[in-house]
Amino acid sequence: MAGVGVKRLQAMVWFALLVLTVCAAGAHGLYFHIGETEKRCFIEEIPDETMVIGNYRTQMWDKQKEVFLPSTPGLGMHVEVKDPDGKVVLSRQYGSEGRFTFTSHTPGDHQICLHSNSTRMALFAGGKLRVHLDIQVGEHANNYPEIAAKDKLTELQLRARQLLDQVEQIQKEQDYQRYREERFRLTSESTNQRVLWWSIAQTVILILTGIWQMRHLKSFFEAKKLV
Amino acid sequence: MGSEAPSASSFQMLLLLLLLLLRAERLRGAELTFELPDNAKQCFHEEVEQGVKFSLDYQVITGGHYDVDCYVQDPLGNVIYRETKKQYDSFTHRTEVKGVYLFCFSNEFSTFSHKTVYFDFQVGDEPPILPDMGNRVTALTQMESACVTIHEALKTVIDSQTHYRLREAQDRARAEDLNSQVSYWSVGETIALFVVSFSQVLLLKSFFTEKRPLNRAVHS
């Protein structure tokens, strides 16, 4: 009898922990303020085939009460993600609370832009919006308790999985480093070439212009009968 | 898993409750790179508990002289860290007050260069990989402690890779700037060369030409 009661209490505590964890995840520590139609962009320099997960939550400023409302339905945020070539990877409208995911197919600087397109703000909010944002890249994006439950892994297997993920991320970053270094080297060699050829060209032009000047002036002075 | 004996399960429950209370100390990390326009200031806020250690690393990646002003304010409004025109820095602090901490990056001293700033704000210690691992009763086995050591070492590797990547991005941006600047300046100099040489000839010729009613003024 007592054993059943204890088990029930344990289940309740587990449930409470789960709920609180979910709520804490929804708290999204870091936040900043943006204006009405202001666009905020963040840059993520990532190797290819890397997953990026972004969570955000918005709160509207209540002018009368002078506090931020806990949640406002009807607020929309537009999320736009551009890859290093400027191509749009993701361009979607989400609600006041959302989660966006994308996987990079080219290595480099990806730009994540957020802006609110809500026009209600001008009327009610006094133009201020609080945005909680959390962007997780690569291995940090993995949810290990979920993976453990899905693949039924023991603790040691889960730790090994985490280490494998970390090593994979390091490998990807090193490949990306090699690609960046090659680009850097090409740029430096191009600068070297340009400096060389332009210097030669300018010296040649200088000499030719000098010769032209002298010849032109000589013929001018001969015409003037001064020489 | 599960309870073999009532005492073990109640112990587990107590530890779970303890974990609930300790939840506040979980690691929260924000690592962001954003663009700071000229004459602008951008601020970020984070709610931190009392007695928790947080660290802020920041670095300017592109723009101008690669420097930025930064300050950190505690919930009472005291400025606990302030630096001007820094290229990169690292600041750690153990909080005395619970509340919302504010850190701002300012580019207000610059009139035309917008900057790209990277920052990494870490709060607290890393949580265990599974939520229920915080209630360990026994010590870690050799395998598990080896895993923990490797995990910490790999985190250091990833951190240093991040710093290397930021430095490389900075150098690469400078090299690409130099590359395009070389072209512009060379073309500009060639044009200036032609203009100056033609003007010299014209000016010299004008000295020796009879003065005509129409004054031909040649400016070089």
Average model confidence (pLDDT) for chain A?
82
CB B52 within 8 A of CB B94: yes
Q: What is the mean pLDDT of residues B36-49?
A: 90
Examine the pLDDT at B184 and tell me if it is beyond 90.
Answer: yes
pLDDT given at position A118 = 67
The DSSP code for A127 is T
The answer for B 62-121 residues in CB contact with A (under 8 A) is 116, 121
How many angstroms away from the CA of B35 is the closest CA of chain A?
A: 7
With a CB cutoff of 8 Å and minimum separation 6, the contacts of B37 are: B107, B114
Token readout for B96 is 């005395």
pLDDT given at position A35 = 80
With a CB cutoff of 8 Å and minimum separation 6, the contacts of A210 are: B197
Examine the pLDDT at A27 and tell me if it is beyond 60.
Answer: no
CB A159 within 8 A of CB B129: yes
How many angstroms away from the CA of B143 is the closest CA of chain A?
A: 8
The answer for B 2-41 residues in CB contact with A (under 8 A) is 3, 6, 9-10, 12-13, 16-17, 19-20, 23, 26, 28-35
Token readout for A49 is 């085939």
The span from the CA of A2 to the CA of A111, in Å, is 58
Residues of B in contact with A43 (CB under 8 A): 33-35, 116
pLDDT given at position B124 = 79
Residues of B in contact with A20 (CB under 8 A): 20, 23
pLDDT given at position B112 = 83
CB contact under 8 Å between B47 and A169, yes or no, is no
Average model confidence (pLDDT) for chain B?
82
Radius of gyration of the CA atoms of chain A, in A:
31
Residues of A in contact with B131 (CB under 8 A): 17, 21, 145
Nearest to A13 among B16, B168, B176 (CB): B16
CB B123 within 8 A of CB B76: no
Confidence of residue A124 (pLDDT cuts 50, 70, 90): low
Distance of CA A204 to the CA centre of its chain: 48
The span from the CA of B98 to the CA of B75, in Å, is 7
The residue type of A17 is L
Confidence of residue B114 (pLDDT cuts 50, 70, 90): confident
CB contact under 8 Å between A159 and B144, yes or no, is yes
- Is B150 an interface residue toward A (CB < 8 Å)? yes
The residue type of A88 is V
pLDDT digits 0-9 by tens, A60-106: 777 666 677 766 667 788 899 999 999 999 998 888 888 999 999 99
The span from the CA of A95 to the CA of A102, in Å, is 18
Q: What is the mean pLDDT of residues B15-36?
A: 63
- In chain A, the residue whose alpha carbon lies closest to the alpha carbon of B47 is A29
pLDDT given at position B63 = 84
Confidence of residue A191 (pLDDT cuts 50, 70, 90): very high
pLDDT given at position B70 = 93
Backbone phi and psi for residue B102, each to the nearest 5 degrees, phi listed first: -120, 130
What pTM did the predictor assign? 0.74
pLDDT given at position A8 = 73
The span from the CA of A163 to the CA of A171, in Å, is 12
Picking from A7, A9, A32 by the largest number of B CB atoms within 10 A of its own CB, the best residue to mutate is: A32
Examine the pLDDT at A108 and tell me if it is beyond 70.
Answer: yes
Q: Report the range out of A60-69, B117-126, B204-213 with the highest average pLDDT.
A: B117-126
Examine the pLDDT at A148 and tell me if it is beyond 60.
Answer: yes
Q: Regarding predicted confidence, which is higher, B113 or A7?
A: B113
Range of weakest confidence among B20-24, B78-82, B188-192:
B20-24
pLDDT given at position B209 = 81
Nearest to B131 among A17, A183, A216 (CB): A17
CB B35 within 8 A of CB B115: yes
Nearest to A158 among B45, B116, B129 (CB): B129
The span from the CA of A88 to the CA of A81, in Å, is 6
- Is B131 an interface residue toward A (CB < 8 Å)? yes
Examine the pLDDT at A23 and tell me if it is beyond 80.
Answer: no
Q: Regarding predicted confidence, which is higher, B98 or A141?
A: B98
Examine the pLDDT at B105 and tell me if it is beyond 50.
Answer: yes
Range of weakest confidence among A20-29, B133-142, B201-210:
A20-29
Distances (CA, A) of B29 to A28, A74, A136, B32, B125: 10, 29, 9, 10, 10
pLDDT digits 0-9 by tens, B130-179: 766 656 667 778 888 899 899 999 989 998 999 899 989 889 988 998 99
CB B51 within 8 A of CB B99: no
CB contact under 8 Å between B46 and A40, yes or no, is no
Token readout for A47 is 């190797």
CB contact under 8 Å between B130 and A144, yes or no, is yes
pLDDT given at position A24 = 42
Nearest to A10 among B9, B20, B148 (CB): B9
CB contact under 8 Å between A217 and B45, yes or no, is no
pLDDT given at position B189 = 94
CB B105 within 8 A of CB B117: yes
Examine the pLDDT at A15 and tell me if it is beyond 60.
Answer: no
Nearest to B52 by CA among B113, B135, B125: B125
- In chain A, the residue whose alpha carbon lies closest to the alpha carbon of B203 is A217
CB contact under 8 Å between B9 and A159, yes or no, is no
Please count the other Cβ atoms lying within 10 Å of the Cβ belonging to residue A57. Answer: 21
Examine the pLDDT at B86 and tell me if it is beyond 60.
Answer: yes
Tokens 């985190």 belong to B155
Give the orientation angle of helix A155-223 with respect to helix B142-207, to 10 degrees: 10
- Is B146 an interface residue toward A (CB < 8 Å)? no
